[in-house]
Structure 1
Amino acid sequence: MKLFKKILKIIGVIVLLLFIGLYILFYIATAPKSDKKVLKEFQELGVTPTITKEKFKTFEYRKVAIVKDTTLPTIVFVHGTIGSVLDFKRYMTDSLLLRKANMIIYDRIGYNYKDKNNVQESIAFEVEMLEHIAQELDSSKTILAGYSYGGPIALASKKPYKKVILFAPAVYSKVEPMPWALNFYKWKLTRWMVPPIWRQASKEKMTHREDLKNFEQTWGENPNQVVSIHGNADGIVPFDNSTYLERKLPKERFELVTIPEAGHGFIWSNFTELKNELLKQLN
């Protein structure tokens, strides 16, 4: 019996150490990166971007830009929840795309490196910030490209642009899933376990469904050509979001591109397919 208890204690200690180790790795891997690390990751892919600190209202945020030819269109990427300026680094460093467009991405409030601000939990705020960033660009040459939560932000802007491209956009409240893992943030006893950046993501996720109701009946008012690219095996932002847009937007201004068997992480796993779609939209 004593030997059995000893073995159980040893197993318990090993499991605890493994859990702590995995938690630390997860914490580090998902935490926002410093400017130095962001620059290094881009340079490893052969491109040196311009990284600046910008102001919007009382907030400071990070913007990463690759502008080589001002006569070309500019794609402004809007990341999702959780997300960062590194989400589209492969696209922003791709030689074929760089021949066709300049590219900009920014950290939304609450997702910046060592950000002391909370997420704003407001699509209206995010749209205002996006329009502030895009105001310095020629709108006739500007493409808004929103991924996941960034989708409704790009779509909610009523200003005219060259095009709006959506990647798995979370635009329909009725099919918005609420993952069980959110309970770790909801429960006060376990909230301390949730890394800071995931607390911000949880806040945003918990209010997204209700916030969408303020916008989803007006998606058809967007004046731009809208392209929604979506994987039909997406379990995080269901494909029904894009078919909802297909019903809401005029046929002459909407195109749905289906990526077969692709999940929500398709901006990474299906890079070549999505890059080719972007190239197609730039032609």
Structure 2
Amino acid sequence: MRKRIKIIAKVIGIGLFLLLSVLIVLFYRFSTPKSDEKIKEDFSENNTSIYINYLAYKNFKYRVLTTQKEIDTSKATIVFVHGSVGSCLDFKKYMFDAELHSKANLISYDRIGYGEKLTGDVQESIAFETEMLEDLTKNLAGSKTILVGYSYGGSIVLASKKEYKKIILLAPAVYSKAEFMPWALNFYKWKLTNWLLPKVWKAASKEKISHKSDLIKFENNWNETPSKILSIHGNKDWIVPYENSLILNEKFSSPQFELLTLNGAGHGLVWTHFNEIKNSLMQQLN
């Protein structure tokens, strides 16, 4: 009987190890920064034009993707800001979409520390990220610009005091008390395992750990933004709890703030609930 239990335990252990290994490989492939050539290939396969530029901010160069060679000032512009871990490609499905493309200029960029060139050099500062975003959008008319911030990117767009056509938050991480610190961060903290992590994972872990204290500098002043806000959040999100958006809903007055709850959605709503998010974007453009 004991021998049988040992065999079963061994099989289960091997199965769990293999499953974990597959998940790690998949996540690594998903999160590793893509080359310019790979990005062009992906967009070409989806019959979508893409233009890749490198801009500079405070001695840092970062990659910017646009679906148009030059900004069409007759259209609105949507600027996507990714989270952690993340990249400009987190929003590629939206940039592939012909209907969105026909209605707006679409821009997505790699935050410092997540692109192919500067992987790992995260700045751990919402203020830095917001200033960089405002530098990127300085030549865009605020009345025609929509900011979309996902996860950590939500705090970046919400911190801007510039008035935009709309700020759309996707599962925003904006309150320190609601900040979830996953156990997996220990792999970054432990010397025994730290060296095994790819640079992009180390960058995300470093940023995640400092984000909670950084939020304290901003969270009591979120309602100082002059822009109208839509927060889209899943009520089954355990990575960035739904509580973040519920607190925002209490802090803002109803004419300025709207909460759209996606029942059953987790933190991957950017990918799993594309249609709902696209429809919300289209409503801002029509």
| TM-score, shorter chain, exceeding 0.5 | yes
Q: 1:156 to 1:26 in 2, by over 3 A?
A: closer
Q: Which residue of 1 aligns with 2:47?
A: 46
Q: Which residue of 1 aligns with 2:105?
A: 102
Within the alignment, does 1:133 sit opposite 2:128 as a pair? Answer: no
Q: Which residue of 2 aligns with 1:198?
A: 201
Corresponding residue SS for 2:79: strand
Q: Deviations over 1:35-65 (max 9, x none)?
A: 0111111222221211011101110000001
Q: Which residue of 2 aligns with 1:36?
A: 37
CA contact (8 A) 2:142 2:163 kept: yes
* Structure 1 CA distance for aligned equivalents of residues 189 and 78 of structure 2: 36
Q: Structure 1: give runs of 5+ residues left out of the alignment.
A: 1-11
Q: Which residue of 2 aligns with 1:150?
A: 153
Corresponding residue SS for 1:120: coil
Q: Which residue of 1 aligns with 2:28?
A: 27
TM-superposed CA distance for 1:20, in Å, is 6.9
Sequence identity percentage:
56
* Structure 1 CA distance for aligned equivalents of residues 181 and 233 of structure 2: 19
Q: Structure 2: give runs of 5+ residues left out of the alignment.
A: 1-12
Corresponding residue SS for 1:60: strand
- 2:256 pairs, out of 242, 253, 265, with 253
CA contact (8 A) 2:120 2:203 kept: no
Q: Deviations over 1:124-155 (max 9, x none)?
A: 00000000000021111111110000001000
Q: Which residue of 2 aligns with 1:236?
A: 239
Q: 1:23 to 1:241 in 2, by over 3 A?
A: closer
Q: Which residue of 2 aligns with 1:74?
A: 77
Q: Deviations over 1:205-249 (max 9, x none)?
A: 001111000000001101011110111111111111011111111
Q: Which residue of 1 aligns with 2:117?
A: 114
Count of matched residue positions in the alignment of Structure 1 and Structure 2 = 276
- 1:219 pairs, out of 211, 219, 222, with 222
CA contact (8 A) 2:119 2:200 kept: no
* Structure 1 CA distance for aligned equivalents of residues 44 and 272 of structure 2: 21
TM-superposed CA distance for 1:18, in Å, is 8.7
